[in-house]
Amino acid sequence: MKKVIILLVASFCLTMTAKTGPKDSKTTFAKEALQPYVDSGQLAGAISVFYKDGVQETCCIGYADVAKKRPIKMDNVFMQCSQTKGFCGVTIAKLVEEGKLSLDDPVSKYLPEFKELWVQDGQNDSVRTFHKAKNVLTVRMVLNHTGGFPFEISAKRGDVRGGGWSGGAPIRQTASIAAASPILFEPGTRETYSNTGIDIGAAIVETITGMKWEKYLKQEVLDPLGMKSTWFWPTDKQLKKKIELYATKKDAPAEWREEMDMEQRPYNDSHVFASAGAGLWTTANDQLKFYKMLMNLGVGENGVRILKEETVKNLLAVSTRPKGLGGYSLGLSAPEEDSEDAWFGHGGAWGTNCSVNWHKKELKLWVVQCAGGGQPWSADVDKAAEKFFSQPLNKSGVDAYTGRTE
């Protein structure tokens, strides 16, 4: 009976937390910064969220579809591209936490084809030379971009119809192709940004769990956090309200783009494969659920614990690379050393970004679908963020964060 009462009380706390949510800051810093760009047409539309310890500024400005005058909204789906990497990092961290994996395990322990790797030395008169890799490739290396793998395998070329990061090959096949191809340098000695390495990490998850990586992700992360709009195959209904792609033009309205080479239409047919390096569709509402979980050291806003505090602090919020190779953890950009002012998170190719500071309970989320031409408003958005985080915020009425579970 006592256990039933405790569960009922916990359920009530979680329900109340979910209903109340963050307090509106009543500020408009991002809107003021972005309005001129929207008025000129240079920026089609964007979403900005600033959050600090229970107080939040939310700005949805402009259009998801300019031609149809459809306003951009928090529940519009968009392609988050490389922000997918952080989701793979969380699945790897879960397996480390459960004792099923060590970051310093050889990749070949789980994927035998990686036992022998060849490093390309160079090319002269169309003749390429190689040597057998001396260093052991570890799980840590493939997740933090120090494994020596190229950005994408040949099967995922964006200039081929049906290619790109969500086309070309499923995760396990991607890993096998990578193992049979030459790498760029001795594992662990340099860094180069690589979707391939993250996909290798996802293939390891598949081997350990006996599940497709995307199904494990859904079971252990997406469903528990209530991320119902996040998936590799958005529905036709979702796509009708997606945030469209626009190329930025200097002193001119943004130009609509039908698709990008690395993410080709149709977006949800049989040519689409899950990819841990990029390719996960989501909404701003769902992204907040994921990044607030990281900000709250493993606990979602709904009170569900995904990871232990120490796991987030030690494996995701700080670099796992050797000193001097820059900051990157497991699928997330992170500082080399932790501090009160340290942020971690990730961006995506179409201009999206989200980062958090767990010490100060701060978050910055940015959603845009920029198909080239740069983001001339970035400095103004940064200034808006500085104004938001530096001001004294009125926290009266902000409920204590409840529902923490072990």
At 192-246, the pLDDT tens digits run 999 999 999 999 999 999 999 999 999 999 999 999 999 999 999 999 999 999 9
At 77-111, the pLDDT tens digits run 999 999 999 999 999 999 999 999 999 999 999 99
Query: Is pLDDT of 171 > 90?
Result: yes
Spell out the domain ranges in the chain: 23-390
Query: Is pLDDT of 15 > 50?
Result: no
Query: Which residues make Cβ contacts (< 8 Å) with residue 256, sequence separation at least 6?
Result: 44, 66, 67, 244, 245, 246
Q: Which fold has domain 23-390?
A: Beta-lactamase (3.40.710)
Alpha carbons 14 and 235: distance in angstroms, whole number: 29
Question: Mean per-residue pLDDT for 50-61?
Answer: 98
Residue 395 has a pLDDT of: 72
Residue 21 has a pLDDT of: 85
Quickly state the pLDDT bin for 393 (edges 50, 70, 90): confident
Query: Is pLDDT of 163 > 70?
Result: yes
Alpha helices in 66-125 (DSSP H): 84-97
Alpha carbons 182 and 285: distance in angstroms, whole number: 41
Global pTM? 0.92
State what percent of residues in the chain have pLDDT above 70.
92
Prior bond of 234 cis (ω within 30°) = no
Q: At what angle are helices 378-390 and 29-40 packed, to 10 degrees?
A: 160
